[in-house]
Amino acid sequence: MQRFLVEPVQQFAGANTRIKKPTEIAFFSYDSEHKLKPLDNESLRYYYPPFFNIPGHQQDNRFPVDLSKGYDSFRQRDDSGDEHLDGLLDTLVEAETRNGKKTEVDLVTWRGMMTRILTAPYEMEDGFEMNATCFQGTIYIEENHAYKAASKEAQKARFSRNRGPPQDMAMFWGYKFETLSLLDKPWGETTREAIEGRENEVVDNYAQYCSICRTEIGGASMVIGGEVDGVLGYKPDDPQAPARWVELKTSKQPEHERDRWVLDKKLLKFWAQSFLLNVPKIVIGFRSRDGKLLNIEELSTQQIPSKIQQQGTYKWNGNICINFTGQFLDFLKHTIVGEGVWRIRREAKSTAIEVFKVEEQGTGNILTQNFIDHRNRL
Ligand code: A3P
Ligand code: MG
Ligand code: MG
């Protein structure tokens, strides 16, 4: 077993790890039945806020909007199955078949796994478990599904002990806010009725648009796939053009000092998630305790770390997160080599991340046969 110390986090201060801006190399949609459509924009949605709250003007009379409306007709997908890296790998197969060459990187994973790593210096409460394998010189990392299922149960129990809203309802509010804030087609092709009708639309989480980016942190190059909630105006044809992605979040409107602290801590996750896929804008729908949408705030992802440094009530340092990630990925590159499957584990409240082999041979269920065959052909 190898251990990588996360604490003390100050050991990662100072240096400025080189980073490369993520660029989209492929994308896919899950359609309205959650069927995978590689290299298809079908489920991309367009950001258009449900109301405008311009300072100095009369407040929009649709305030406050009830985020609970439609809860009974929520078309909620059962996401309890283990999807491994399937959607990401199937899309890479399509993309590589089209352009005839392999995507050569050190690491391939979902954005969620990279978020855990990036936030590790300041996320002491939650643990994580991942499976990793090395194939043709690239490390593939997936979430360990058994661990995910167990922590979901624990989260449920925590939720029911807290005095907050029921967990299912709080989750619905997040998707409801997306439905209120996004359009299926660009604004120019949308009728006024469709824009205003969003309040009565059935909320549904089957469809998703996912972006697959190539990026570098320190000496590690990687391909990361993750969901993007929406785009502002249009998706530029040129992958090098400034991205127009928008990440939507809901959060309780801070009232007390404690709420502020919770929000500043959440901003670490929001920032990390968005930073990794080059999402420049995060839109937060602030709600009351009982799910009334009170106002909307648009944040620039890039400016969040310095805002936290200046006025955060929960202090975290984005630079330390990046430096830590650079060094940790370097460690993974030296540890996960040759045949077999490894576990990457951080126990809750632990000061270290452990990496150990769980299978001597093969690639576990991390890679699909389709992907392996494709790579062996290419
Ligand atoms: P909010 O986080 O805005 O409340 P995402 O923000 O990643 O685009 O996810 C959209 C919504 O899915 C979330 O909205 C939340 O309602 C739900 N969701 C995402 N991850 C979740 C998790 N781990 N547990 C419960 N709900 C989750
Ligand atoms: Mg999302
Ligand atoms: Mg979101």
Residues near ligand 3 ion, CB 5 Å cutoff: 229, 248
249 lines ligand 1 (CB under 6 A): yes
Measured from the CA of 170, which atom of ligand 1 is nearest? Answer: 16
Residue pair 175/203 in contact by the 8 Å Cβ criterion: yes
Nearest bound ligand to CA 45? Answer: 2
Residue 57's pLDDT band (cuts 50, 70, 90): low
171 lines ligand 1 (CB under 6 A): yes
Distance, in Å, from the CA atom of 109 to the CA atom of 134, rounded to the nearest integer, reads 12
In this structure, which long-range contacts are made by residues 186-190, counting pairs with CB atoms below 8 Å and at least 24 apart in sequence? 186/46, 186/233, 186/234, 187/46, 187/48, 187/233, 190/46, 190/48
Per-residue pLDDT at 228 exceeds 80: yes
The model's pLDDT over 125-171, given as tens digits with 9 standing for 90+, comes to 999 999 999 999 999 999 999 999 999 999 999 888 988 889 999 99
> What pTM, to 2 d.p., does this model score?
0.96
Q: 3-state class of 223 per DSSP?
A: strand
pLDDT of residue 332: 98
175 lines ligand 1 (CB under 6 A): yes
At 26, which amino acid appears? A
> What's the whole-number average pLDDT of the chain?
95
Per-residue pLDDT at 207 exceeds 80: yes
Ligand 2 mean position, distance from CA 369 (Å): 28
- What strand order describes the sheet that includes 128-135? 2-5, 352-359, 341-346, 128-135, 138-143, 107-110, 220-227, 208-217, 19-30, 36-38
ipTM given for this complex = 0.96
Residue 15's pLDDT band (cuts 50, 70, 90): confident
Distance, in Å, from the CA atom of 224 to the CA atom of 214, rounded to the nearest integer, reads 7
**Site to substitute for ligand 1 among 44, 75, 249, 267, most atoms within 8 A of C-beta:** 249
The model's pLDDT over 258-294, given as tens digits with 9 standing for 90+, comes to 999 999 999 999 999 999 999 999 999 999 999 999 9
